A and B are shown apart, each in its own frame.
Chain A
Amino acid sequence: MKDHWLYDFTSLTAGIEAWLQETFTPFWAIAWEMVIIGLVFLIFYAVTGLILVYAERRVCAFMQNRLGPNRVGPWGLLQTIADFIKLLMKELVKIKEADKFLFNLAPFIVIIASFMAIAAIPFAKGLHAIDFNIGVFYVMAVSSMGVVGILLAGWSSNNKYSLIGAIRSGAQIVSYELSVGLALLSVVIFSGTLQFSEIVESQADAWWIFKGHIPAVISFVIFLIAATAETNRGPFDLAEAESELTAGYHTEYSGIKFAFFFLAEYMNMFIVASIAATVFLGGWMPLHFWGFDAFNRVMDYIPPVVWYMGKTAFVIFLMMWFKWTFPRLRIDQLLTLEWKYLLPINLVNTVLIAFLTMMKWHF
């Protein structure tokens, strides 16, 4: 059973690579690989974006005593596609006095940042575009590039609301980057590696959130908070703050350029959730407990992709849940939360984890 391609993608992906290497010269083999991976991610990106938008609208509707989209297609499944077509056909408004080059560039930076981050994520055993030995670091680095796009969007729009939103976003992401980094560092210390595939392998007997005692749980909660802030989602959506800044940094964008920001927000949420799932919840590893062999065997029968998607969906649901329940923070409260609470807790927590790991007290 373990050899079936559903449970181990290594043979499939390696097979494709071997075939390409045989058929073409090394240069063309790499080029073809890039094209294939690019296409796969492009399709994956579009489909996931559509699903997430639909899911969010449905989830928030049920939390708000509504039905949500239920007219276009079965259960309203085609609603987001219809909305997407509408966005494609909308006029791209040209802003007077705007910095045209930066204005057009900004959405691409935002979306490229999320594109690059997704490359390092392992979806199942052997199913990842690139398996860096510095995977965690790489994801941190490229995902923080998105803020450049947001800052540019706010600056080049020649709109005070946009500018306020962009500056808020800058302050927010610079601050919360620390917490995200430190929270991820805890598991890096536990597992002793920066490579995502090895972090997942290290959770074969149990997930880090169970193995790492309370410090791992604290890390997970902090990661969830900080990651939500990084993706500019409620209750930390100050950069858009609809009721204060109309739409924040993307006020002046329309049509497909707005769709880029919109899509990037949802994909960032997906990336953040999948990192949380990979690092704390075992990624594509099934739920295992020491000693429960029969239970573990049954869990093994569920394909890793399902595990991975399920965990990611769970984290995404958590993020949606508190977005639709909590009011928005104020900018000074947001920074206070990070610098006065999360960061000190996180630092102490990291020391604690280092100590735990040194004494080999984790499981």
Chain B
Amino acid sequence: MLNFLNRTDMEENTKPMTAPETEEEYFINMGPQHPSTHGVLRLLVSLQGEIVKRLDPHLGYIHRGIEKMCEKDTYIQIIHLTDRMDYLSAHMNNEAVCLLVEDALEIEVPERVKYIRTIMAELQRLNSHQLWWATMGMDLGALTTFFYGLRDREKILDIFEETCGGRLLLSYNTPGGVMYDIHPNFQKRVKEFIKYFKERLPEYDQLLTGNVIFQERTKGIGRLTREEAVNYGVTGPSGRGSGFSCDIRKKFPYSAYPYVDFKEILGVDGDALSRYKVRMEEMWESMHIIEQLIDNIPEGPYTAKMKAVLKLPAGEYFQRVETARGELGVYVISDGNKTPYRMKFRSPNMCNLSALDHISRGAKIADLVAIGASFDFVIPDIDR
């Protein structure tokens, strides 16, 4: 039974970390320049020997004020800003804004667009998980995984490049459809990639998953219960690792997700290994989704007829999508102008980070790195 109001588990030592409390305690700064924070995240960690007593994430090192900038930009311009939040889920971020605008203007997008968007989103998810796997191994000291992950990721980036010119930041979505039609080679290359990657994914398991040191390093580390995941708002593969069924693709299907059959992967233990396994399984599911769609892309226009200037009717709008890291919510208050009055992103990484202090108490420094890797943080998404 979920108890959303029970917050006792969070009432630990929540005093601000200003100075060490005891003689044995000492502070170290992990970041903003640190190999395992994958960006400019600064964790002020209180240690006793090797054991983490508490930690305090200090944010803002890559804050660009994207939400404020959005208030000056038109909706089409906003899409290009969302790329820069969670850069590994650029396509899904774009999609969230596009879906919101289409919903507000009551535009029916062509079926072809839905298919293309979904395939691209799943490719993006695959690419993001590959990079996560690569860096997870690297954080745990197995440097070879990094090159295996990036080798396969390159193939997806090549497909992206051929489709829309961008490799990392796609900006392929536009309200009402996509920027251009897919490349004639698109279907062939995606199918080739799926065939290729199905042979490669078992290699990932051989290299890392089955390794006894890896299992020991992640099993029982950073345990997050289902209730805690709900309370902290931990979503995406990290939340599902704790058994929190939070897949927006299943709960509130959008684009072509209602047409496809796929499983929502749920973990049981809620530890780092569980989160790891959820992501590994999700890669199989993503490939399964792409396989169902790739041969059935309907003919038709690649974009709906749109006005040159989009003005959302006055009111509040909310749209959410499942990015590679969890639930991305976009909230817009419009006063009827071509720019939003206020824009707010509910970014998955921000909420996932909030659980870090709680679950890493009592862990070792090495565990903290493993936990951080299992959450798959993208720092620009935390700061925005």
Contacts and interface: CB of A to CB of B under 8 A. Distances in A.
Chain A bound to chain B: yes
Interface stretch (B57-65, B166-174, B211-219): B211-219
Interface in B137-192: 137-144, 146-148, 151
Most buried by B among A164, A238, A326: A326
A109 interface: no
Interface string B326-370: 000000000000000000000000000000000000001111010
Interface stretch (A114-122, A175-183, A186-194, A329-337): A329-337
A330 B366 contact: yes
**Which of A234, A242, A326, A330 has its CB near the most chain B CB atoms (within 10 A)?**
A330
B147 A327 contact: no
A161 interface: yes
Given A241-B366, A242-B35, A333 B142 contact: no
Interface stretch (A4-12, A61-69, A145-153, A311-319): A61-69
A201 B315 CA distance: 91
A254 B188 CA distance: 51
A328 B214 CA distance: 8
A243 B137 contact: no
A241 B142 CA distance: 11
Contacts of A328: 140-142, 213, 217, 366
A244 B213 contact: no
Interface residues of B, number: 30
B139 A243 contact: yes
A331 B217 contact: no
B369 A244 contact: yes
B144 A235 contact: no
Interface in A230-277: 234-235, 237-238, 241-246
Contacts of A65: 147-148, 151
B107 interface: no
A200 B217 CA distance: 41
A226 B159 CA distance: 47
Given A328-B366, A333-B216, A164 B144 contact: no
Nearest to B136: A327
A324 interface: yes
Interface string B74-100: 000000000000000000000000000
A164 B26 CA distance: 12
A330 B367 contact: yes
Contacts of A168: 50
B contacts with A: majority SS: helix
A343 to B, nearest CB: 19
Interface in B27-77: 28, 34-36, 50
B75 to A, nearest CB: 41
A327 B366 contact: no
A324 B144 contact: yes
B365 A244 contact: yes
Given A64-B143, A243-B35, A243-B141, A326 B364 contact: no
Q: Select the residue from A160, A243, A246 with max chain B CB neighbours within 10 A.
A: A243
Interface in A194-251: 234-235, 237-238, 241-246
Contacts of B211: 326-327
Contacts of B104: none
Given A65-B147, A243-B35, A243-B36, A326 B142 contact: yes
Contacts of B146: 64
A64 B141 contact: no
A107 B266 CA distance: 51
Most buried by A among B35, B146, B207: B35
B36 A244 contact: yes
A327 B217 contact: yes
B144 A243 contact: no
A326 B139 contact: no
Interface of B: 26, 28, 34-36, 50, 137-144, 146-148, 151, 207-208, 211, 213-214, 216-217, 364-367, 369
23 contacts: A63-B144, A64-B144, A64-B146, A64-B147, A235-B213, A241-B141, A241-B366, A242-B35, A242-B141, A243-B141, A244-B36, A244-B365, A244-B366, A246-B34, A246-B35, A327-B213, A327-B214, A328-B141, A328-B142, A328-B366, A329-B213, A331-B364, A331-B366
